[in-house]
Amino acid sequence: MAQTGEWAIWLSPWVLGALGLCIGSFLNVVAHRLPRMMERQWWRDVAQQLSDSESFQRTFGRGAPKPLAATSGELEQELDKLGRLTLSKPASRCPACQHRIRWHENIPLVSWLRLRGRCSACGTRISVRYPLLELATGLLFAGIAWRVGPQPVALAWCGVAATLVALTAIDWDTTLLPDALTLPLLWAGLCAAALEWTLPLSTSLWGAVVGYLSLWSVYWLFKLTTGKEGMGHGDFKLLAALGAWLGWKAILPIVLMASVIGAVVGIGMKLSDTLREGRYVPFGPFLAGGGLVLMLAGTETVLGWIGQ
């Protein structure tokens, strides 16, 4: 009984909500740095490819021009000048004046309010998105604690929510859904099912299969019909991951919610002339949002909403 009481304290909505605020602060860093880390790696890959004379010979049937090797060396030098970039290094700084963010300026929600949304050194405005993302993550963690109860598996569901929040922010900013997040989310869902934490393994497996193939089929149908790509491959992987955690029955309501809400947002952005270059809206945030709704409300409940 004492052990149950201890779990009830540490996995209560209040405690997990506070944890979510802290995790949300870290997710702001992930959303900002992970795409930049990916871009740097892509440029290193370009540099390595330019220096691969054997690959050039196989592809083009002739020797590689000398300027390619020189360009490769220049790229490597420029990348080395940038210094190391990880999720933990260098320390966070104001992008305007390079003021190093001190610990008391990095307390979730509190610091932004105390600083009135401005850098303490130069007064540059700090985006309201930072506290909103922290608050959203805290509320999601608290909602999961309320939904699941004081069980250790609540921490796994909190991990899912945190990953979806990060993917939403990254996809909205860059139209990227990094494999570094979607694939671990997929495998974690299958492993959780295999450990009997969530769903029967067969339900999780078919959820991943149906999730991936449904959008994969739409992608190829659209491409063969129009000659254009209607979505990125990351959307397939994200929906497969959601299927692994929520089961194959969750795929239809997730796609329906994502399509309807995404269309409404897209129309609103078009009317307000705020669509990005290329005139499209990323689909990943709406898939993630649909998955979060099913996590908190329950698949059967949401199926009831749509008459299934």
CB distance 23 to 147 below 8 Å: no
For tokens 């997040």, name the residue.
181
User: In terms of DSSP H, where are the helices of the chain?
Assistant: 2-10, 13-50, 53-60, 66-81, 110-114, 129-148, 153-174, 179-194, 201-226, 233-246, 251-271, 284-297, 299-305
3-class SS string, 106-119: CCCCHHHHHCCCEC
Query: Taking the domains of the chain in order of start, what are their residue ranges?
Result: 1-150, 152-305
Whether the predicted model's global pTM rises above the 0.95 cut: no
Distance, in Å, from the CA atom of 207 to the CA atom of 196, rounded to the nearest integer, reads: 15
Per-residue pLDDT of the chain (308 residues; tens, 9 = 90+): 344 566 778 899 999 999 999 999 999 999 999 999 999 999 999 999 999 999 999 999 999 898 888 899 999 999 999 989 999 888 888 888 888 888 888 889 998 999 888 988 898 898 999 999 999 999 999 999 999 998 999 999 999 999 999 999 999 999 999 999 999 999 999 999 999 999 999 999 999 999 999 999 999 999 999 988 888 899 999 999 999 999 999 999 999 999 999 989 988 888 888 777 766 789 999 999 999 999 999 988 888 887 76
How large is the C-alpha radius of gyration of the chain? 22
Distance, in Å, from the CA atom of 214 to the CA atom of 241, rounded to the nearest integer, reads: 13
CB distance 266 to 216 below 8 Å: no
Distance, in Å, from the CA atom of 223 to the CA atom of 225, rounded to the nearest integer, reads: 5
Which string of b and e fits 237-259 if b means at least 16 CB within 10 Å?
Answer: bbbbbbbbbbbbbbbebbbebbe
